Structure 1
């Protein structure tokens, strides 16, 4: 292998690195595991006969998908013993991600939790087809199924997701307005202001992983959620600073306590009201909100 081919191979990998991370993250919901998949993809790409590769992007995505599928099965077993609700690892994303409605939706907490209800192969097929618009033949090579089977899987996964995804599309401006109102309600500690923002059947999921204090069961209902927020979030007691940020393509609150990140709070909005709150407290999941992560399609 010539020095020039090594350089070309490195350039090709770097050109698609953010894409490979995004594919792996959407399949796994874990930035740490997605980074491992990217590294494994690089090792296999380095050892490949790149002169025989006709489509570098498709080839790299195929490697990453296969690696992610292997990890997804292991992670599924690991999450069965997770203490309390499991939430995806939050990513600090650039403001322009919110302008790409499809990309923002695909990496949102709400969508990633919907994808958790698919089988590993269904999740891979849905992500590659619906988000990254790969051809059925390319997906078939990535997941080791026939193109006909992949079409059937895609149809089934699409219907499954459609039943569970957010009911309405929220613009970036609407999302920011909602999270700002939520922040103000938390700062004042006014329960009525909180209740006015919450859907009657709102759900709060708190991910502490058993490492931090937190609820081990989902909290359902506006009254119960509002009171849980009043007790659980230090912002209400004037001990934390809250900043509105973009997390997973949507508006969120980043709470710092004594300068250290304490919580990341993301919201799902349906029909103008907050229908779900995702509070990540597990410190092992908060490293990716210290710096911006590039996600692309």
Structure 2
């Protein structure tokens, strides 16, 4: 690629003032990206079609400054995008979802099937009393009135359900 005389002048100024440009980028907060940004300055001056530049050094500083602004905006947008993603997925850590994994979902579905089987094996009344009280949040006395049984029957059926579910939990914990 043949350079124009303006590009030759900019290239000479770049080589001559490379360390100053690097210090400028470091002072502006480029950190580890300073060398990469300096390379980007080099690429831009060698590929951009420019007219005559009377003050090459200020021009190079301006190119470096604009690259820093672009870098800052890009990083800010990435951080905003990550924060929005975390808020949308409910995660506390950026980029990490609090949603359960597919494996945990399958295990939970299996446990739910087993709980339903245990409750169903206790009989329709006991299962219904447990669900109305524990799942629907209906007080025991109201469940007794609704089902047409005594309060002691509701308490007895709940004890049976709790005992059966405790046994299931022990079996699951042993596995």
TM class, shorter-length: 0.3 to 0.5
Q: State the TM-score, normalized to the length of structure 1.
A: 0.23
Find the structure with the greater CA-based Rg. 2
- Name the TM-score, length of structure 2 as normaliser: 0.37
Kindly indicate which of the two structures has a greater share of residues assigned to strand.
1
